[in-house]
Amino acid sequence: MKRSRRARREELTGWLMASPWIIGFLFLTLGAMTFSLGMSFTDYDFFNKPSFVGLQHYKQMLFEDELVWHSIGITTLYALFSVPLTLVLGLLLAMILNQKLKGIALFRTVYYFPSVLPEIATIFLWILVFDPSFGLFNSVLKWFSITGPNWLGSMEWALPSFVIMSLWGVGGGMLIYLAGLQGIPTELYEAATVDGSNRFTTFMRITLPMLSPVIFFNLVMGIIGALQVFNQAYIMTNGGPARSTYFFMLHIFYTSFQEYRMAYASALSWLLFLYIGLLTFIVFRFGEKKVFYS
């Protein structure tokens, strides 16, 4: 009798203590998403009463609005370069910084230092770095008598500039891989040495499989992050020149918070959600067999 009263109290307290998240979820996630989905079937524009328009926005989004595919293309292209590059570079750095060298802690700090800095301030720093006439890059290139490109102001170089900038934050990924490397039991390496494996085989047979869950998780998070790039694009180029850095998030932002076409923007945001889901699903399908869970 006493026990069951305690169990009942625990049941009630459990719900009560979880309620901050549950309430937030009901209103700010589930409620908001339902509202967003419902809104996307109307012509709601924030100021006037909405009326039902069915699938019109989805039709417009997929077949009429050229900026949708353009911006998804730009965003995908960016992710295609930025995500694998940061992944490989981060892994490589982590392997080097995992060596037992004197002063290695200092080097680690130096390499992840940029990922600690606040993003908006670093964006201004990079605008100056990319400045065509007195920026860091072109000043250095001028030493070698090379006239550097117009970086953020050129259609060919604006998107690559974003990729270069994203590489500056490679230290964050490096830290994660480093922690993963240090979690691999040393006995495995000892066994490999006894078996006479060389460095490459050891890397392929031990390091990579043991690290694969971490790599996989980073890949997924990297894709999700890259598809939602906004701040850099909004502040550095505003999508230009000639929309060459017009990321998908910019398109959603302008549609919703500048033009107040809330209903259409909601439909666009669902497209982003589905696209992220689709890419994650593909990565999971192909990754599943390759990932080794000990």
Question: Closer CB to another protein, residue 183 or residue 185?
Answer: 183
Q: How many residues sit close enough to another protein to count as binding (CB under 8 A)?
A: 97
Pick the closer one to another protein by CB: 21 or 69. Answer: 21
Binding mask 199-228 for another protein (x = CB under 8 A): --------------xx-xxx-xx--x--xx
Query: Closest distance between another protein and the C-beta of residue 91, in Å?
Result: 12
- If one asks whether residue 42 binds another protein (CB under 8 A), the answer comes out as no
What tokens were used for 218? Answer: 């980073």
Angstrom distance (rounded) from CA 29 to CA 36: 10
Among 41, 46, 39, which residue's Cα sits nearest to residue 260? 46
For the chain, counts of helices (H) and of strands (E): 15, 0
How close are the terminal C-alpha atoms of the chain, in Å?
44
Rounded to 5 degrees, φ, ψ at 241 are -75, 145
Residue 152 is given by DSSP the state: G
Q: Which of residues 230-289 bind another protein (CB under 8 A)?
A: 230-231, 234-235, 249, 252-253, 256-257, 262, 265-266, 269-270, 272-273, 276-277, 280
91-150 residues near another protein, rule: CB under 8 A:
93, 96-97, 99, 101, 107, 109-121, 124-129, 133-134, 136, 139-140, 142-143
The residue within the footprint of another protein, chosen from 28, 88, 146, 278 (CB under 8 A), is 28
Q: How far is the CB of 126 from another protein (least distance, A)?
A: 7
CB nearer to another protein: give 52 or 143: 143
State which amino acid sits at residue 221: M
Q: For residue 52, what are the β-bridge partners?
A: 42
**66 sits in which H/E element:** helix 66-97
Task: Tell me the C-alpha distance between 17 and 32, whole Å.
Answer: 23
Between 146 and 179, whose beta carbon lies closer to another protein?
179
